[in-house]
A = this chain, B = another copy of it.
Amino acid sequence: MNKSDRSVTIKDIAREAGVSISTVSFAFNGTAPVAQETKDRIFEVIKRLNYQPNSAARGLVTRKTNNICLFTPHPASDFFSFGGNSVFSHLLQGIGEVLDQKDYNLLISWDNIGHKAKTPKLIKLMRERAMDGVLICLPNQDSSVIEELSEHHFPVVIIGSNGLKNQVNSVDVDNYDIAFRNAQHMLQLGHTRIAFISPGPLEFLVCEDRLEGYRDALEEAGIRFREEYVFIGDEKERSGYNAAAAFMALKEPPTAIVSGRDVQGVGVIEYGREHGVSIPGDVALISFENSELAEKYGITSVTTDLYEIGKEGAKLLHKLLTRKKDRGAQNIVIPSELIIRASCGTKPTT
């Protein structure tokens, strides 16, 4: 609608206001003192011509894009989903909230979990300087991407656990501690035959951490660790079902189960319903995640606040981007809370 379609540049402002372009830049960004009178004139023109600096030109010299990238498993993948439900938006909300406030743009890109399919794209984005930093959520064991990124001193924050802990910034709940306390809770209720369902293969650090927490709690209580009380599941409901089946088939079945994910807990419950195993009557159940599922099925569970994790992750990344001095890797731990529901009962069966 305006005279021309060419967008207005700093040159136009300078000409119209009768000053040099540097003065315009100084005034606009407040980076150098400019006489009030001149400043007023410049801002009048800026407003009148509706000037907005070109981000590419600016980025070329400042070496900033104000874009940050979130790299995750697919939003609809099993990692984020359970019962058709996706918690991806929780994570997104936390990240978006702080990024928005700090005036960063959020770019998202996803991976086929464990297949490192798109990884090269992330590397490319970083190498062509298309983003200032990246939040990575890669719940698999592969840390080569992360290594490559931090090797180039590229600002990275890991969402979740990773083998490179203490070398690279991260935000997560304390999986070891949660598992430890989950097992402890069962012990306190008097259980001694406590089983554990891993939410994935032990190569995943999350799983290893949880198993270890579980194991240490038993050890502390002087209870023998039994191989047959550990079931390596996956992120799907079925694995909880299968775990229950396996445990119940033992000559000496456990009286309590520490489930790796709520969705597995649901599997356990389903098994119970189908086979007349009462929960918590015959087997007490405690889980991780505290999703809507836990609420719905009355499963005692420990919160994994993805909203908070996203928020803290974004904050940390922002710190990385604005701080000049490198002060080593930070590992933020988001506190978890045990939400007691019916599934854990109050007394063990004997």
Does any Cβ of B come within 8 Å of A15's Cβ?
no
Q: A107, B107: Cβ atoms under 8 Å?
A: yes
Which residues on B sit within 8 Å (CB–CB) of A59? Answer: 56
Query: Interface size bucket, A side?
Result: 35 or more
Q: A105, B106: Cβ atoms under 8 Å?
A: no
Q: A88, B89: Cβ atoms under 8 Å?
A: yes
Q: Given A100-B118, A107-B106, A107-B107, check contact A128 B53 (CB 8 Å).
A: yes
Q: A57, B55: Cβ atoms under 8 Å?
A: no
A81–B89 alpha-carbon span in the complex (Å)? 10
Does any Cβ of B come within 8 Å of A25's Cβ?
no
Which residues on B sit within 8 Å (CB–CB) of A52? Answer: 124, 127-128
A112–B232 alpha-carbon span in the complex (Å)? 42
Identify A129's interface contact among B55, B60, B84, B88, CB under 8 A.
B55
Min CB gap A129→B, angstroms? 5
A130–B130 alpha-carbon span in the complex (Å)? 11
A106–B80 alpha-carbon span in the complex (Å)? 19
Q: A109, B105: Cβ atoms under 8 Å?
A: yes
Which residues on B sit within 8 Å (CB–CB) of A57? Answer: 56, 60
Identify A55's interface contact among B89, B100, B128, CB under 8 A.
B128
Does any Cβ of B come within 8 Å of A48's Cβ?
no
Q: B88, A105: Cβ atoms under 8 Å?
A: no
Which residues on B sit within 8 Å (CB–CB) of A50? Answer: 127
Provide the A67-91 mask, 1 if CB < 8 A to any CB of B, else 0. Answer: 1000000111000110011101110
Q: B84, A292: Cβ atoms under 8 Å?
A: yes
A125–B66 alpha-carbon span in the complex (Å)? 11
Q: Given A7-B127, A109-B105, check contact A76 B90 (CB 8 Å).
A: yes
Q: Is the interface of A mostly helix, strand, loop or mixed?
A: mixed
Which residues on B sit within 8 Å (CB–CB) of A107? Answer: 67, 105-108
Identify A75's interface contact among B56, B92, B124, B153, CB under 8 A.
B92
Task: Name the residue of chain B whose CB is nearest to the CB of A8.
Answer: B127
Task: Name the residue of chain B whose CB is nearest to the CB of A53.
Answer: B128
Does any Cβ of B come within 8 Å of A96's Cβ?
yes
Task: Name the residue of chain B whose CB is nearest to the CB of A74.
Answer: B93
Identify A105's interface contact among B85, B130, B151, CB under 8 A.
B130
Does any Cβ of B come within 8 Å of A288's Cβ?
no
A127–B93 alpha-carbon span in the complex (Å)? 25
A110–B53 alpha-carbon span in the complex (Å)? 23
Does any Cβ of B come within 8 Å of A5's Cβ?
yes
Does any Cβ of B come within 8 Å of A278's Cβ?
no
Q: List 7 A-B contacts (CB under 8 A).
A: A1-B151, A7-B127, A75-B89, A80-B89, A86-B88, A86-B89, A92-B108
Chain A interface residues toward B at CB < 8 A: 1, 5, 7, 50, 52-57, 59-60, 65-67, 74-76, 80-81, 84-86, 88-90, 92-93, 96, 100, 105-110, 118, 121, 124-125, 127-130, 151, 153, 292
Other A-B pairs beyond A7-B129, A54-B128, A55-B128, 12, CB < 8 Å = A5-B153, A52-B124, A60-B60, A67-B130, A74-B89, A76-B93, A84-B85, A86-B86, A92-B108, A96-B108, A105-B107, A106-B109
